[in-house]
Amino acid sequence: LFRSALIKNNLIVKINDSIINLNDLKFELSLSDDMIKSLVILDSNVKKIITVENLTTFYSLNDKEAVIIYLAGFHNHTKQSLLLKIYEQYPNAKYYHFSDIDCGGFLIFNNLVEKTKIPFIPYRMNKTELIKYKENAKKLTENDKKRLLKMFEDSRFEIFKDTITYMLENNVKLEQEILDE
């Protein structure tokens, strides 16, 4: 099974004898497991890393200061290896995760933090975004409501408590593709 990690922006890497500056490349780079194993991160000015759930958002997200990595939902071993390699070299950078503002997005965020042990911060996954884009919000299903109530009681989702309260009170959820840059 071939797995790869899509990455773009603000990183200089060496793979075997090739040096690749993602800023000069001007488009994303797909890294396989073998490439990640041989990857050496050269001295880059990495201060911010953003992981992204959705491919459309990955392509449209335009933060030149950030290394942006596409997760395709829940991360896999390949993406985790890349993230841990970056984190090992840049433990003081800010790590953000950008997902849908819904149960799935919260689960993806929690899974990422638990499995990588990287102190990710939710990126635009909050009440402010729900209010700003309320005309594009979708209504919660009965299953969403049940899952959100369980998450509200679960300390692992404490970081989303205010957002979950707003979602339940206003019967809304939001896909990240709606959040324009």
HEC assignment per residue over the chain: CCCEEEEECCCEEEECCEEEEHHHHCCCEEEEHHHHHHEEECCCCCCEEEEECCHHHHHHCCCCCEEEEECCCCCCHHHHHHHHHHHHHCCCCEEEEECCECHHHHHHHHHHHHHHCCCCEECCCCHHHHHHCHHHCECCCHHHHHHHHHHHHCHHHHHHHHHHHHHHHHCCEECHHHCCC
Per residue in 67-96, pLDDT tens? 999 988 777 788 888 999 999 999 999 999
If one compares 169 and 2, the residue with the highest pLDDT of the two is 169
Tens digits of residue pLDDT in 134-180: 999 999 999 999 999 999 999 999 999 999 999 999 999 999 888 76
User: What average pLDDT does the segment 51-77 reach?
Assistant: 87
